[in-house]
């Protein structure tokens, strides 16, 4: 190698030497991120530093960086896998990172905390966005594993509390490689078809790895975008997942979730119906009672209890009239009597018998009274009427 090289020739040569070394391809490195630059293009540039303050330049291109489950920050301890190479322009050597994970036991926790912080910042957990659960859901969507205890718990509780609701069950794996995607699709399908009034999504308890599908960003967004209220019921009381935060309501367990979507039990509804029925009966009874009292008041009025009142007044009038009539009549009669007595007395004095009794007599011929001497001839038979009888006489002479 006696000829003089240009810098670029050297750099290119060293690069080819390094890149052909299998030991430098797919190398794993552990270190702390420093001098971090998140480029707008999506590329990530930083230095990886170890405890002895040794550093190496590191690049993660956008094509790989977008699969990161966490957001790298300065000072973060990471494990990376990548290929060592030379940047020809500066001759500095660097590692092109294929994959990067947070270092240590807290790796998942970190990713979780970061996603949580990011989504919170975006407003996915805001209370204003949370929808109230329906009081009487007709259809209850259930997204969980068909084999776990969770589905049994949910079905059992809904059967006891709320058998009038229909369960729309979408069975999906809740852990494993495709679980997050299946859960996400299930939520989207419910939202697309609107075939439920409320949804429970969840699973029984498990390790943080088991519950990991419920910390998926896409699932969180699908839940956020879902118009149907969602209850997240993942694991136990102490387990919190991203799904819990973004859902409209978090239930501590699947059983609690089933209770939350059936706020009014059939038993209490029965009681309510009974109460309404009682109220109605009371109202009608009171009404009827009032009407009856009204009727009683009327029917007990004096007109009905003393119907004679109506006739009495007429009776009195009649009696007054008739007594007046009577007295008028009596008066009249007694007047007439007096008059009559006077008349008869007068008549008495004029009676011919009275005259006869004083010695006068009446002469009759052939039954006819005669009052002239010319009315009887000598030898005629005439009758002389006296007060106590009569005499048969013969005329013997005339004077």
Partner 1 sequence: MSYEEAISKLEETVKQLESGKLSLEESIEMFEQGTKLAKECYETLKNAEQKITLISESEGN
Residues that bind partner 1 (CB under 8 A): 136, 138, 155, 158-159, 163-172, 182, 185, 189, 192-193, 195, 266, 269-270, 272-273, 276-277, 279-281, 283-284, 287-288, 291
Q: How far is CA 21 from CA 84, 87, 98, 161, 324, in A?
A: 9, 16, 17, 68, 155
Q: 73 or 281: whose CB is closer to partner 1?
A: 281
- Smallest CA-to-CA distance from 214 within 320, 112, 343, 322 is with 112
Q: 30 or 138: whose CB is closer to partner 1?
A: 138
**Is residue 382 within 8 Å of 364, Cβ to Cβ?**
yes
As given in the structure block, the two tokens for residue 46 are: 């930083």
Q: 13 or 136: whose CB is closer to partner 1?
A: 136
Query: Which DSSP state fits 371?
Result: -
- Measured from the CB of residue 272, what is the shortest distance to partner 1 in angstroms? 7
The span from the CA of 216 to the CA of 43, in Å, is: 23
Q: 281 or 330: whose CB is closer to partner 1?
A: 281
Q: 11 or 191: whose CB is closer to partner 1?
A: 191
Between helices 179-193 and 217-225, what is the axis angle to 10°? 10
- Smallest CA-to-CA distance from 211 within 245, 257, 243, 249 is with 243
The span from the CA of 53 to the CA of 39, in Å, is: 25
Q: 168 or 361: whose CB is closer to partner 1?
A: 168
- Measured from the CB of residue 153, what is the shortest distance to partner 1 in angstroms? 14
- Measured from the CB of residue 248, what is the shortest distance to partner 1 in angstroms? 21
Please give the full DSSP string across 201-263, using - where no structure is assigned: EEE----TTTTGGGG-HHHHHHHHH-SS-EEEEESSTT---HHHHHSSEE-SSHHHHHHHT--
The span from the CA of 268 to the CA of 70, in Å, is: 48
- Measured from the CB of residue 195, what is the shortest distance to partner 1 in angstroms? 7
- Measured from the CB of residue 241, what is the shortest distance to partner 1 in angstroms? 22
Q: 59 or 183: whose CB is closer to partner 1?
A: 183
As given in the structure block, the two tokens for residue 283 are: 């109202």
Q: 287 or 354: whose CB is closer to partner 1?
A: 287
Write down the residue that tokens 């308890």 correspond to. 205
- Measured from the CB of residue 145, what is the shortest distance to partner 1 in angstroms? 13
The span from the CA of 305 to the CA of 226, in Å, is: 76
- Measured from the CB of residue 104, what is the shortest distance to partner 1 in angstroms? 37
The span from the CA of 211 to the CA of 201, in Å, is: 12
Q: 182 or 244: whose CB is closer to partner 1?
A: 182
The span from the CA of 254 to the CA of 231, in Å, is: 9
- Measured from the CB of residue 293, what is the shortest distance to partner 1 in angstroms? 13
Q: 138 or 373: whose CB is closer to partner 1?
A: 138
- Measured from the CB of residue 290, what is the shortest distance to partner 1 in angstroms? 9
List the end-to-end C-alpha distance of the chain, in Å, as a whole number.
Answer: 236
Q: 39 or 159: whose CB is closer to partner 1?
A: 159
Residues 6+ apart with CB under 8 A from 112: 215, 242
- Measured from the CB of residue 276, what is the shortest distance to partner 1 in angstroms? 6
What is the CA 228 to chain-centroid distance, rounded? 21
Helix, strand, coil percentages, rounded to 5, for the chain:
45, 20, 30
- Measured from the CB of residue 234, what is the shortest distance to partner 1 in angstroms? 21
């Amino acid at each position: 190698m006696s000829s003089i090289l240009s810098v670029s020739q050297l750099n290119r040569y060293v690069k080819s030497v390094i890149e052909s070394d299998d030991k430098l391809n797919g190398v794993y490195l552990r270190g702390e991120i420093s001098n971090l630059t998140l480029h707008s293009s999506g590329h990530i540039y930083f230095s990886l530093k170890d405890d002895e303050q040794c550093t190496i330049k590191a690049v993660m291109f956008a094509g790989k960086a977008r699969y990161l489950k966490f957001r790298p920050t300065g000072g973060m301890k990471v494990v990376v896998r990548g290929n060592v190479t030379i940047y020809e322009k500066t001759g500095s050597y660097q590692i092109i990172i294929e994959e990067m994970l947070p270092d240590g036991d807290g790796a998942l926790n970190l990713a979780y905390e970061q996603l949580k912080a990011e989504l919170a910042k975006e407003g996915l957990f805001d209370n204003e966005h949370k929808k109230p659960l329906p009081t009487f859901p007709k259809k209850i969507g259930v997204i969980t594993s068909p084999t776990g205890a969770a589905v049994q718990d949910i079905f059992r509780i809904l059967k006891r509390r709320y058998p009038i609701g229909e369960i729309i069950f979408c069975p999906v794996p809740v852990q494993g490689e495709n679980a997050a995607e299946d859960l996400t699709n299930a939520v989207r399908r419910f939202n697309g078809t609107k075939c439920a009034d409320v949804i429970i999504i969840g699973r029984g308890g498990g390790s943080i790895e088991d519950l990991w599908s419920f910390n998926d960003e896409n699932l969180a967004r699908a839940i956020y975008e879902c118009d149907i209220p969602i209850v997240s019921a993942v694991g136990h009381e102490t387990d919190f997942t991203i799904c819990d935060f973004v859902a409209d309501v978090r239930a501590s367990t699947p059983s609690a979730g089933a209770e939350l979507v059936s706020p009014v039990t059939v038993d209490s509804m029965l009681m309510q119906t009974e109460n309404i029925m009682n109220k109605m009966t009371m109202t009608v009874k009171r009404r009827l009672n009032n009407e009856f009292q009204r009727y009683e008041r009327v029917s007990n009025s004096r007109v009905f209890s003393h119907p004679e009142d109506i006739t009495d007044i007429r009776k009195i009038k009649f009696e007054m009239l008739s007594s007046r009539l009577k007295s008028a009549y009596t008066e009249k009669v007694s007047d007439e009597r007096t008059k009559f007595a006077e008349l008869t007395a007068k008549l008495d004095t004029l009676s011919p018998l009275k005259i006869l009794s004083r010695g006068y007599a009446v002469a009759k011929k052939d039954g006819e009274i005669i009052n002239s001497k010319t009315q009887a001839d000598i030898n005629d038979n005439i009758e002389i009427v006296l007060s106590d009888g009569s005499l048969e006489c013969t005329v013997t002479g005339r004077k």
